[in-house]
Structure 1
Amino acid sequence: MPDTHGLVDAHHHVWDLDVRPQPWLDEPAHEPIRRTFGSLDLRSAATRPIAGRRLTSTIVVQCVASVPETRDLLALAYGDPLIGAVVGWADLTSPAIGDVLDDLRSGQAGRYLRAVRHVVQGESDPHWLQRPDVERGLRAVGERGLGYDVLVRSHQLPQAVRLAERLPELPLVLDHAGKPPLAAQDLTDWTRLVRALATHPQVRCKVSGLITEADHEKWTVDDIRPVWDVLLSAFGPDRLMFGSDWPVANLAGGWNRWAATVEELLDDCSGTEIHAVLAGTATAFYRLAPDPTDPTDPTKEGASCS
């Protein structure tokens, strides 16, 4: 019998090019998504259920290093019941980081700020996350009860491991599984580093952004499965969360094709494990309003993920 409970998309973006440029979209490969995308577009795109669950809540994530963008995302979340939380941006290196975060969290819309992110994948410093000013900023994030989304490429994963070691009190979630080099088909170093990161209990991981790391035109479920197997064994289902990375996912098949892939990957999981990946982990990490119809019985029957 299909599961009719809710589905949380833990990672998507919106942008209005008439309001705020997105310079990263100027790259030739991004031409197919070089237009405005809003939450209504997401509703139109995300029509396929996963394991019988339809989209009921999302987390919208920053794109550019801009406090005004974060304010716009908070206002959007305040006015759109689909968006349950915002991952925003603030300058972690600023001596005024605490004041900026407090200001962002003020007012009715401010309560939707649940985490911050910086595009570390664009930083050339191989120790950026260990800079003293960055660590001071991250401590300010944790002191305010916020989480931190870690966006790094696979070769930058050592920074994420050191961050987890140095700040064990800071809730972390690894975006896009650390961008495994699926197109290169060599997961050896990525596997070792992800397993090291997963030994730190404050770390969660998003099952997102994988199809754009693979061959955009030719990828199959079998290409994604080795990454899924590593994530499942390293983190367990109760520390994994589904994310679409829409509309970036449109470069490699779109929301519905990724949803179908995730459903296939979850085929050997129990109902409780499916709930964790599709709603429970994200709900807990981002402190979303719980779905009162979701299962809470850990003994629900079903085969374990394997």
Structure 2
Amino acid sequence: MAHGLTRAEAPESARLNRDTASDARIPIDTHVHLWDRSVVPQTWIDPDSMPAINREFSGTDLTAQLREVGVTRAVVVQSDRTLVENDFLLDEALEAHEVVGVVGWVDLRGGADGVRLQLDDLARRPGASKLVGIRHPVHIDEDERWLSRDDVAAGLAELGTRGLSFDLVIRPWQLEQAARLARRVPGTTFVLDHLGKPPLSTGELETWHSGLRQLAALPNVAAKISGLTIEDDWGDWSQSAVARAIDPALELFGPSRLMFGSDWPLVRLTRGGYRDWIDAYRSATASLSPAEQRQIDVGTADRVYGMRGVGA
């Protein structure tokens, strides 16, 4: 691997055990969610299968959780396709010192002019200075050609002129489309959430790996090591399975284009929750040098989201 020792070469002493991993502070978690269902219903939450997240999550809740696991700052990411959620997230960001960035939502189908108007409106809202990016849940969009739309490409180009990135939340079969889109819009930085959702429980990673390689070949694409324990079997994941996703990402993107995220509070659905996810991340990256680890822990987020020094 280009980044240093391979997994087989890493000495056993470099593998962090549970106690040391949980105590190792992480400067910034680039992927958390907040919601108030009186503002946005979040109808995707199934109370029967998701009891651990079947409640409201505020900035106060986030602050308590970050302090418990030793994370200093966080970027809050949208979870619903509504403009009203932007107001809620920006308000929470104003109240919670730990929230240093918000990835909101606008309708990118409006093209350059439509996106410009939406962003102008957002810029007048309290807390707008914390807006660092935009996301659209492409993985659940009814339009399977969303990534190929000309109006979306034009809207994404407008994000780039504003210094805003675009978070990509997609499934493995969409990675190739996403690569074509990122190639069309070189002036905008794309951030691949959850490493493109590799199907770790099945082990059928060929489509995912091929698409990941295409995206990683583009200099305007970064990726988040996040959400890997959530997509499939919530209670039955292993560190070795997580490593099967992180190892290729390290090789293809390198530490300077990767960042850490938890997908809290959804990570509460999984065995061990937030702490075990941190342990898995630390174990999978244990062979990196301190400088390389620092890149994933905070350097990439600082650069991509324009938050110099926020995690210091």
- TM-score w.r.t. the length of structure 2 is 0.87
Corresponding residue number in structure 2 for 1:93? 109
Task: Report SS of the residue matched to 2:187.
Answer: coil
How far does residue 21 in structure 1 lie from its aligned partner after superposition? 0.7
Inter-CA distance 27–168: structure 2 relative to 1 (3 Å threshold): farther
Q: Does 1:44 align with 2:60?
A: no
Corresponding residue number in structure 2 for 1:299? none
CA distance in structure 2 between the aligned counterparts of 1:102 and 1:176, rounded to whole angstroms: 29
Q: Does 1:68 align with 2:84?
A: yes
How far does residue 182 in structure 1 lie from its aligned partner after superposition? 0.9
Out of 24, 27, 37, the residue aligned to residue 17 of structure 1 is: 37
Q: Does 1:133 align with 2:151?
A: yes
Inter-CA distance 34–4: structure 2 relative to 1 (3 Å threshold): closer
Q: Which moved more, 1:257-266 or 1:122-131?
A: 122-131
Conserved? CA contact 1:90–1:116, under 8 Å: yes
Conserved? CA contact 1:11–1:243, under 8 Å: yes
Corresponding residue number in structure 2 for 1:251? 269
Conserved? CA contact 2:161–2:187, under 8 Å: no
Deviation digits for residues 253-301 of structure 1 (CA, Å, limit 9, x no counterpart): 3111101111111211111111111111111111114058x5xxxxxxx
Task: Report SS of the residue matched to 1:60.
Answer: strand
Consecutive unaligned residues in structure 1, runs of 5 or more:
295-306
How far does residue 212 in structure 1 lie from its aligned partner after superposition? 0.9
Q: Which moved more, 1:281-290 or 1:229-238?
A: 281-290
Corresponding residue number in structure 1 for 2:10? none
Corresponding residue number in structure 2 for 1:216? 234
Conserved? CA contact 2:32–2:265, under 8 Å: yes
Task: Report SS of the residue matched to 1:90.
Answer: coil
Q: Does 1:112 align with 2:125?
A: no
Q: Which moved more, 1:93-102 or 1:200-209?
A: 93-102
Task: Report SS of the residue matched to 1:93.
Answer: helix
CA distance in structure 2 between the aligned counterparts of 1:275 and 1:48, rounded to whole angstroms: 21
> What one-letter code is carried by the residue in structure 1 that aligns with 2:75?
I
How far does residue 237 in structure 1 lie from its aligned partner after superposition? 0.7
Corresponding residue number in structure 1 for 2:302? 283
Deviation digits for residues 83-121 of structure 1 (CA, Å, limit 9, x no counterpart): 001000011112522111111023551111110011100
Q: Which moved more, 1:120-129 or 1:250-259?
A: 120-129
Alignment of 1:1-306 (within 5 A): 7-26=27-46, 28-47=48-67, 54-94=70-110, 96-253=114-271, 254-291=273-310
> What one-letter code is carried by the residue in structure 2 that aligns with 1:33?
I
How far does residue 79 in structure 1 lie from its aligned partner after superposition? 2.2
CA distance in structure 1 between the aligned counterparts of 2:125 and 2:61, rounded to whole angstroms: 27
Conserved? CA contact 1:48–1:260, under 8 Å: no
CA distance in structure 2 between the aligned counterparts of 1:235 and 1:28, rounded to whole angstroms: 38
> What one-letter code is carried by the residue in structure 2 that aligns with 1:39?
G
CA distance in structure 1 between the aligned counterparts of 2:267 and 2:242, rounded to whole angstroms: 14
Aligned residue pair count? 288
How far does residue 224 in structure 1 lie from its aligned partner after superposition? 0.8
Name the Cα RMSD after superposition. 2.0
Task: Report SS of the residue matched to 2:182.
Answer: helix
CA distance in structure 1 between the aligned counterparts of 2:176 and 2:145, rounded to whole angstroms: 9
> What one-letter code is carried by the residue in structure 1 that aligns with 2:35?
W
Consecutive unaligned residues in structure 2, runs of 5 or more:
1-19
Could you tell me the percent identity over the aligned residues? 37
How far does residue 195 in structure 1 lie from its aligned partner after superposition? 0.9
Corresponding residue number in structure 2 for 1:301? none
- TM-score w.r.t. the length of structure 1 is 0.88
